[in-house]
Structure 1
Amino acid sequence: MPEVEPRNIVEKFFNSVANVLVTPTVWVREKIVEPNQQSYPWYHQKFRRVPTIDECYTDDVVCYYEADAQYKRDRLVDSNILSILRARFEDCTLYEAPDHLEKCKPLWNQYEEAQTNWFIKYGDLGGYHNVKTAYMKQKHRMIWERRHGPVGSGKKTE
C-alpha cells in the first residue's frame, strides 16, 4: 500500500501517534517472535513427566512434591478440557436449535464421558486435596471393584 501524504496537521498528528504505538509492536514481532517461532513453535512450558506418587519412596519429599505438582497440572489440564467440551456443546446447542437434540448428541456423549472420567479421578476429594489423597481414592476404588464389581452395578451376592 503506497504511502499517502497527510492532508493537514491533524492527520499528521494521528499518523505520528499511530507510528509511536505500532512501530515497537512490529519490531518485537519481526525481531523476537517470528525468529523464535521457526525453531520453537509453542510458547507454553513443557514439563517432563516425573515419577508418580506410587513410585516414590515414603521418605522422598522431593519426589512427593514433584508428583503433587504434576498432579495439579494434570488436573488443571483435565478441567480445561472439560470446560472446552462444555463450551462446544453449548455453542452447538445455540447454533443448531431447535434440532440440537439430535445434531449435538455426539458432543453431549463426549462431554458426559469426559465428565464421568473427571469425577472418577478428581471428584469427592474436597477443596484441599493432593496427589496422595487422589491415589488413596484410586486404591479404594480398585479394592471396591475387586470385591463388589464395577462401581454403580450394585454389590455382588454370593
Structure 2
Amino acid sequence: MPEPRSPMASFAESVMNVIDGPITWFRESIVEPNQQKQNWYHQRFRRVPTIDQCYTDDAVCRFEADQQFRRDRMVDNEIVNILRQRFEDCTLYEAPDHMVKCKPLLEQYEKATENWFIKYGDLGGYANAKTAYMKQKHRLIWERRHGPVGSGMNQEAAH
C-alpha cells in the first residue's frame, strides 16, 4: 500500500484500519475457512417435500411443492433446449454427413423430449405439482390396465 500523501490521508487511513481491521480479520480467519468452496452454478438446494408427501390442509407444503415443481420444469426445459441446440450445431457443422455423425445426439434429444412430454406434456402453462401428480397417477393406472401408453390396448382389457 502506498504511503499517505498528507497527514489528513494518514489519519483517514488509520481510522479506516481501526474500523475495517477487525471486520477483515474476522472474515479472513473465521468466515472464509469455514465456507464450502463451490461455484454458484453448482450450488445444490435442499429438496422440499413433494405434493404426495404433503397433508391436504398444509398450504405451505403445497406451495413449496409447487415452487419445486416449477424449478424442476425450468431445469428440464433448459436441458431439452441445450440438447436441441447441440444437435442443431452438430447438424450445421457435420453436414452433409450429419445423419450419421449426429445420430447419438439426435437419439439423446428425442429421449429427453419424450421424457419431458411424459412429465409435462398437455399440462399447460398454469400447471402445478398436483396436476402433474394426477397426470402421473392416471398414466400409471392406464399402464396397469392396458399396457404401456402408445402400445395399443391389451386384448383382454378391450373386451
- Give identity over the alignment, percent: 72
Q: Which residue is equivalent to 2:37?
A: 40
Q: Which residue is equivalent to 1:134?
A: 132
- Which ranges of 4 or more aligned residues in structure 1 deviate by more than 6 Å? none
* Shift in Å, 1:40: 2.6
Looking at structure 2, the residues matched to 62 and 104 of structure 1 have their Cα atoms a distance apart, in angstroms, of: 46
Whichever residue aligns with residue 47 of structure 1, its letter is: F
Matched, 1:64 2:62: yes
Q: Which residue is equivalent to 1:16?
A: none
* Shift in Å, 1:39: 4.2
Question: Equivalences for 1:114-133 in 2 at 5 Å?
Answer: 114-133=112-131
Cα gap change, 1:52 to 1:39, in 2 (>3 Å): closer
Whichever residue aligns with residue 148 of structure 1, its letter is: H
Q: Which residue is equivalent to 2:92?
A: 94
* Structure 1 unmatched ranges of 5 or more: 1-34
Q: Which residue is equivalent to 1:78?
A: 76
C-alpha distance after superposition, 1:67-96 (max 9, x if no partner): 111111010000000000000000000000
Q: What TM-score, normalized by structure 1, do the two folds share?
A: 0.74
Bigger-Rg structure (1/2): 2
Looking at structure 2, the residues matched to 108 and 96 of structure 1 have their Cα atoms a distance apart, in angstroms, of: 13
Q: Which residue is equivalent to 2:3?
A: none
* Structure 2 unmatched ranges of 5 or more: 1-31
Q: Which residue is equivalent to 1:7?
A: none
Structural RMSD (CA): 1.6
Looking at structure 2, the residues matched to 46 and 105 of structure 1 have their Cα atoms a distance apart, in angstroms, of: 32
Looking at structure 1, the residues matched to 44 and 63 of structure 2 have their Cα atoms a distance apart, in angstroms, of: 18
Q: Which residue is equivalent to 1:148?
A: 146
* Shift in Å, 1:128: 1.1
Looking at structure 1, the residues matched to 155 and 103 of structure 2 have their Cα atoms a distance apart, in angstroms, of: 36
Three-state SS of the structure 2 residue aligned to 1:124 is coil
Whichever residue aligns with residue 41 of structure 1, its letter is: Q
* Shift in Å, 1:126: 1.4
Looking at structure 2, the residues matched to 68 and 127 of structure 1 have their Cα atoms a distance apart, in angstroms, of: 13
* Shift in Å, 1:127: 2.0
* Shift in Å, 1:41: 2.2
